[in-house]
Amino acid sequence: MSQTVILRGLEQRALVCGMVKAAPVDAVVTIKPAARSMDQNAKLWAMLSDIARSKPEGRVMTAEMWKAAMMNALGHEILWQPGIDNGPPFPAGFRSSRLSKEQMGNLITFISEYGDRHGVKWSDGQ
């Protein structure tokens, strides 16, 4: 049986300690940072769409391509693959869904600063 516990305070930590003590031999325990939230995901895509519409520096890219460019700027590995039949290259080998809450927050902050520097009009009025 698999169980997930979010460590919000001492009560949850005590619960997990008890679960570990009672775990059978060869049980597997995984502790990882919280994943990005749905609100963060929605904000990310709204901001990327705003940037794509504003075409900063005359750059015409899709929101998906902007996401790859922004993640690359923050040091996340991005692979660009050649398009089919000499089409434009496309980003591959990255997933923002694997970012932690903190990493997603850093990405959103970076995108916000970039957009502010380039006069992006944010659709949420920020």
How much is the pTM? 0.69
| pLDDT tens for the chain, residues 1 to 126 | 678 888 889 999 999 999 999 999 999 999 888 888 889 999 999 999 999 999 998 999 999 889 988 998 988 877 778 888 888 887 776 678 888 899 999 999 999 999 999 999 999 866
- Provide the 10 A C-beta neighbour count for residue 26: 5
Could you tell me the fold of the domain covering 38-117?
Answer: NinB fold (1.10.3790)
- Res 26: pLDDT: 94
Tell me, rounded to whole angstroms, the distance of Cα 95 from its chain centroid.
7
Position 125 scores a pLDDT of: 61
Taking the domains of the chain in order of start, what are their residue ranges? Answer: 1-31, 38-117
